[in-house]
Chains A and B, each alone.
Chain A
């Protein structure tokens, strides 16, 4: 039994199954983070005082993280483009760089969290820190999830390139779409938490 349109696009929708699936999944992710951002707005407007993010959080480190994530979004596209050109070796290098960027992001995040903990700023300290830890924490889990998939595509999943190159390319594209979304969430999180 073969499921149709796993590799080729369906002519009338112009999409293969995985791509449509990831777009729908991202729609639900928009609702998830939309709910979190709405909660932040409601809590902040309801609070008597709300600290400015830049007074409490480390803006330079977060700026660095922003550039790392944006860079990784570029390399994941380059990896997909290389696969389309049939250059598997180059694609693996770009995927590797993306994975390293993800790792770098998480390390910097861990340093940020560690500094906060050492100054006894916990999620229970006040609503600002509750929101900060919750939103960056959930975003971090998303980054981690993306890294696991990249590691799989580089490691055991790479065998697929030999047998079904089209399907492998699709997998990289779909993971890339997810990765762009994770990047986009950070681009909203950074100014709202750190700069406002």
Chain B
């Protein structure tokens, strides 16, 4: 009976405690050897270990820290905007000095500065915070471990992706110091406004070209890693759902980003070389005809931009769904309900996301036929999203859940993403969109998807994989405080936006819509919304403290504190070995979520992907395993 709990190390079989000892011994020996061969290639200097590292784990951490800082910075920009929306025309407390006279004379925010904050909030959150966190950080750290790979397929390219991203980020930050400030044409940078805008827009375009290049390098790396470096026995249908989510995400990044790169180059040429790709003939600005050849098309930019930016929405959400799936399966102690359906839905979602882009453009007068096409595809793409979300909900049914911090974030994700998704349906229908377009309803919709949706999933992921990265757990009490406060405040911010939007308040008004009589009843909500936003910042303090303090004082844990089945927990130490992750590449015998499967016991209620088949009481195999063996 002891055999079912044995783990293979090298060529021999051991009990988990013996295996743990053997791993520690292996690490000790490795360290000893490294110390003896000081010039050995394992032993690298400070720069190669911590700055220009090629180790996917360290690059993942670099991405995580950078992206979290950008997340905080982007959030900070919004907090200033929330003051202007709640108390238009009143001097900003505390920060007025920081903004300076050029942006806020006498502490009162100028319209140009408001536009600057809005454009940069969107850009930073999407391209510098969420995508690098979801793909760069979680993807880099977790995917190679989950597929049993020693590293990414191209470690140097991986390092380059991070540094190109970092340069892009620095350029975006520098643009705040450009004459007339950073980009002010929204995160969508629609021409002709963006072409005639100040110098900050040029910085924005150059920064974007760096960020796009980084994403392209990264996505090639992820795809090759997942296709080529899967451990023996790990077939595609045995991949953890998180890996599937990253796989499809990488395809989206690979194929959707180049058109924006093309568009970015064209807009850059419009601004620097005086071309007219996006400038129509006879454009009048401030009563004067713009000196340009003309003949271009502003709509061309919108098509190219949304051809990227709609798949980008799924880039934001798929890794989040992957993290939630991992956390839910682990804490319900059950297999995911409908794993295959979820995988097929994700693939279908990936395909469909390329043919829905023009639902962002119903108001451009494309014609009813095109509108009808895009609203049909938009309705179709909601089906796979619902399949995935429903599967996750059904996975909860009849389980005895563990309510730890990662699970709370994952559970909150489900209804929050549900609200975000369902409120998107009226926007996908051309008739309803005409009323709702560019109102706060749109802001409410996509922030529900991304903020209490994706960001909550990212938080679940941070609390879940923190023990893998550091060998220590984050504090549960602080985690729960962080969760409950965040959940309340984030809903107070975003739920009223639906009402404001239905009342017709435009999303881009500097004074929040003071001049519009119809808006006044709904405008009052701005004050509690803004207070909630500032309180949300305070609610992050327990997290920030927890994140750093737990590195030193967190509860020490073993290699598999959550009793998880996937390889990153079951086959390597916490933190994993510096070079190569595994003492020996694991061999995979089964699917990713064998919790409470036949052959498990109460004290050992899971079968790791790399564990040997358990032995039945009669000495043979359990029927399920016997069938699986025959099929193999």
Mark A residues whose CB is within 8 Å of B.
Answer: 1-5, 10, 13, 15-17, 20-21, 24-25, 27-29, 31-36, 39, 42-43, 46-47, 122-127, 130, 133-134, 138
Q: Taking each of A2, A17, A25, A39, which has the highest tally of chain B beta carbons within 10 Å of its own beta carbon?
A: A39
**B255 touching A27, Cβ below 8 Å:** yes
Shortest beta-carbon contacts, A-B, top 7: A124-B274, A35-B259, A32-B258, A130-B275, A1-B580, A31-B258, A35-B262
Closest to B581 in A: A1
**A28 touching B292, Cβ below 8 Å:** no
Give which listed residue, B275, B292, B304, B579, contacts A1 with CB less than 8 A. Answer: B579
Per the 8 Å Cβ criterion, residues 29-68 of B in contact with A are none
Q: Is the interface of A mostly helix, strand, loop or mixed?
A: helix
Q: How far does the alpha carbon of A15 sit from the alpha carbon of B153 in the complex, in Å?
A: 13
**A27 touching B269, Cβ below 8 Å:** no
Q: How far does the alpha carbon of A125 sit from the alpha carbon of B275 in the complex, in Å?
A: 7
Query: Could you say which interface size class chain B belongs to?
Result: 35 or more
Q: How far does the alpha carbon of A3 sit from the alpha carbon of B221 in the complex, in Å?
A: 13
Known: A42-B300, A134-B266. A3 touches B153 (CB 8 A): yes
Write out the residue numbers on chain A whose beta carbons fall within 8 Å of the beta carbon of B220: 21, 24-25, 28
**A17 touching B228, Cβ below 8 Å:** yes
Give which listed residue, A1, A39, A125, A133, contacts B293 with CB less than 8 A. Answer: A125
Q: How far does the alpha carbon of A123 sit from the alpha carbon of B277 in the complex, in Å?
A: 10
**B151 touching A3, Cβ below 8 Å:** yes
- Can you list 13 contacts pairing A with B, beta carbon distance less than 8 Å? A1-B151, A1-B579, A3-B229, A4-B150, A5-B229, A17-B153, A27-B254, A28-B254, A29-B258, A42-B303, A124-B273, A124-B276, A127-B276
Q: How far does the alpha carbon of A134 sit from the alpha carbon of B295 in the complex, in Å?
A: 16
Write out the residue numbers on chain A whose beta carbons fall within 8 Å of the beta carbon of B296: 43, 127, 130
Write out the residue numbers on chain A whose beta carbons fall within 8 Å of the beta carbon of B150: 1-4
Closest to A32 in B: B258
- The reply to whether the CB of B223 lies closer than 8 angstroms to some CB of chain A is yes
Contacts beyond the supplied A35-B263, A39-B277, A127-B275: 11 A-B pairs with Cβ under 8 Å: A2-B150, A17-B153, A17-B229, A24-B219, A24-B220, A24-B224, A28-B258, A31-B255, A39-B266, A133-B273, A138-B265
Write out the residue numbers on chain A whose beta carbons fall within 8 Å of the beta carbon of B433: none
**A124 touching B292, Cβ below 8 Å:** yes
**B258 touching A35, Cβ below 8 Å:** yes
Give which listed residue, A13, A17, A35, contacts B304 with CB less than 8 A. Answer: A35
**B263 touching A5, Cβ below 8 Å:** no
Write out the residue numbers on chain B whose beta carbons fall within 8 Å of the beta carbon of A35: 258-259, 262-263, 304, 307
Per-residue 0/1 for B289-332: is the Cβ within 8 Å of any A Cβ (1 yes, 0 no)?
A: 00011011100100110010000000000000000000000000
Closest to A25 in B: B220
Write out the residue numbers on chain A whose beta carbons fall within 8 Å of the beta carbon of B151: 1, 3
**A32 touching B259, Cβ below 8 Å:** yes
Least Cβ distance of A187 to chain B in Å? 19
Give which listed residue, A1, A20, A32, A33, contacts B224 with CB less than 8 A. Answer: A20
Least Cβ distance of B29 to chain A in Å? 16
Q: How far does the alpha carbon of A27 sit from the alpha carbon of B154 in the complex, in Å?
A: 18
Write out the residue numbers on chain B whose beta carbons fall within 8 Å of the beta carbon of A31: 254-259
Least Cβ distance of B296 to chain A in Å? 6
Q: How far does the alpha carbon of A36 sit from the alpha carbon of B293 in the complex, in Å?
A: 20
Per-residue 0/1 for B240-281: is the Cβ within 8 Å of any A Cβ (1 yes, 0 no)?
A: 000000000000001111110111011001000111110000
Per the 8 Å Cβ criterion, residues 214-241 of B in contact with A are 216, 219-221, 223-224, 227-229
Give which listed residue, B261, B269, B277, contacts A32 with CB less than 8 A. Answer: B261
**A39 touching B262, Cβ below 8 Å:** yes
Write out the residue numbers on chain B whose beta carbons fall within 8 Å of the beta carbon of A2: 150
Q: How far does the alpha carbon of A1 sit from the alpha carbon of B578 in the complex, in Å?
A: 10
Known: A17-B228, A28-B257, A124-B293. A39 touches B276 (CB 8 A): no
**B269 touching A43, Cβ below 8 Å:** no
Write out the residue numbers on chain A whose beta carbons fall within 8 Å of the beta carbon of B258: 28-29, 31-32, 34-35
**A46 touching B297, Cβ below 8 Å:** yes
Q: How far does the alpha carbon of A1 sit from the alpha carbon of B579 in the complex, in Å?
A: 6
**B228 touching A43, Cβ below 8 Å:** no
**A43 touching B259, Cβ below 8 Å:** no
Known: A24-B223, A43-B300. A36 touches B154 (CB 8 A): no
Q: How far does the alpha carbon of A124 sit from the alpha carbon of B224 in the complex, in Å?
A: 41
**A15 touching B265, Cβ below 8 Å:** no
Least Cβ distance of B56 to chain A in Å? 11
**A43 touching B297, Cβ below 8 Å:** yes
Write out the residue numbers on chain A whose beta carbons fall within 8 Å of the beta carbon of B304: 35, 39
Known: A29-B258, A39-B300. A126 touches B265 (CB 8 A): no
Least Cβ distance of A124 to chain B in Å? 3
Write out the residue numbers on chain A whose beta carbons fall within 8 Å of the beta carbon of B216: 25, 28
Q: How far does the alpha carbon of A36 sit from the alpha carbon of B136 in the complex, in Å?
A: 28
Per-residue 0/1 for B466-478: is the Cβ within 8 Å of any A Cβ (1 yes, 0 no)?
A: 0000000000000
Least Cβ distance of A20 to chain B in Å? 5
Q: How far does the alpha carbon of A134 sit from the alpha carbon of B269 in the complex, in Å?
A: 8
Q: Taking each of B219, B221, B263, B273, which has the highest tally of chain A beta carbons within 10 Å of its own beta carbon?
A: B273
Least Cβ distance of B321 to chain A in Å? 23
Least Cβ distance of B191 to chain A in Å? 13
Least Cβ distance of B114 to chain A in Å? 32
Per the 8 Å Cβ criterion, residues 127-142 of B in contact with A are none
Write out the residue numbers on chain B whose beta carbons fall within 8 Å of the beta carbon of A123: 269, 273-275
Write out the residue numbers on chain B whose beta carbons fall within 8 Å of the beta carbon of A20: 223-224, 227-228
**A5 touching B228, Cβ below 8 Å:** yes
Q: How far does the alpha carbon of A130 sit from the alpha carbon of B274 in the complex, in Å?
A: 9
**B259 touching A130, Cβ below 8 Å:** no
Closest to B55 in A: A1
**B293 touching A126, Cβ below 8 Å:** yes
**B228 touching A130, Cβ below 8 Å:** no
Write out the residue numbers on chain B whose beta carbons fall within 8 Å of the beta carbon of A33: 262
**A130 touching B254, Cβ below 8 Å:** no
Least Cβ distance of A55 to chain B in Å? 17
Closest to A15 in B: B228
Least Cβ distance of B36 to chain A in Å? 18
Write out the residue numbers on chain A whose beta carbons fall within 8 Å of the beta carbon of B266: 39, 134
Write out the residue numbers on chain A whose beta carbons fall within 8 Å of the beta carbon of B295: 43, 47, 126-127
Q: How far does the alpha carbon of A34 sit from the alpha carbon of B277 in the complex, in Å?
A: 16
